[in-house]
Chains A and B, each alone.
Chain A
Amino acid sequence: MPIRGDLHFQRQRFNAKAFQKGNKAVSWGLVIVTILINAVFEPVLRHFFGIAASDINVLKMLEVTGLGVLSYVLISFAFWAVCKCFGSKAAFTDHITAWGISYAPTAVCSIVVALSEVFFFIFWNNAIWGMLLNFVFVGILIWKAMLYFIYLREFAKLRGWRFFGACAVMGVIILVMAALNGYVGLKTPVL
């Protein structure tokens, strides 16, 4: 017999309830897909279709994959620590099963980044493609930002000044971690 939660899930609604319930498989699935697109798909695509054919470096792939997983665990830890300081009751394991649900736009972003970097000559100096890419990237950015606000509000249950405080602190942490991600070779930050 289907229960109500299942129905919600069947309809694929990406709402606050998805965060509240959390789902280990969906979370880690989205995170791993994002990391693999960054670490494996992009180099392979570059090897076969890139202008200067680069070699496939398996060791580097493994390293980037590991760093991606580390990045996810670290950002979940940061969310837990900051939300805890601002008075949220969610445990670390809750954060790690919930935040991954927001990786849908990140996965889409990493695909678009890989394609636009390897096939840059198609998009170069092309007004229509430029407009489309602009539309996609800005849309993804707004989408992710909204998931961030919904997460802090509905999952961590922060209201008022606590919400704004957590937003500001997490914003700084995310900026720093995005820079570090880029430094170690994750072109789309796994955050």
Chain B
Amino acid sequence: MKKAITLFVAIMMIATTLTGCGGSDDTIQTAFKVLGQDGKPTEQQKDRMLDHILLECNEEKAFGIGRLKEFIIAYPWRFAFSASAVQC
């Protein structure tokens, strides 16, 4: 949603500067301000990003046999249907 708004503002800015009509300095400045605000993640988004990174760290540590074991325990259905496909 935010991306869409940013894109819309950017397109409007380009349109106003290119056509040179309707776009007073004021509107362009407010548009820039909105862009700046949009770029910063909110506290909630930061939390979510941190959670995501921590989760990825937890998952990345297994190798070899441990990786296989993790695969079997975390995704039993994937393992089950691969085994089933092999025996077919």
Contact = CB atoms under 8 A, between A and B. Distances in A.
B72 A138 contact: no
B79 A142 contact: yes
A131 interface: yes
Interface residues of A, number: 25
A105 B78 CA distance: 12
A135 B88 contact: yes
Contacts of B83: 138-139, 142
A43 B75 CA distance: 33
A63 B74 CA distance: 37
Contacts of A140: 80
A22 B51 CA distance: 22
A74 interface: no
A14 B74 contact: yes
A58 B41 CA distance: 56
B51 A146 contact: no
A150 B76 CA distance: 9
Nearest to B72: A146
Pick from B51, B75, B80, B87 the residue with the most CB of A within 10 Å: B80
Contacts of B72: 146
What 3 A-B pairs are tightest by C-beta distance, nearest first?
A139-B84, A143-B80, A142-B80
Interface of B: 44, 47-48, 51-52, 54-55, 72-77, 79-81, 83-85, 87-88
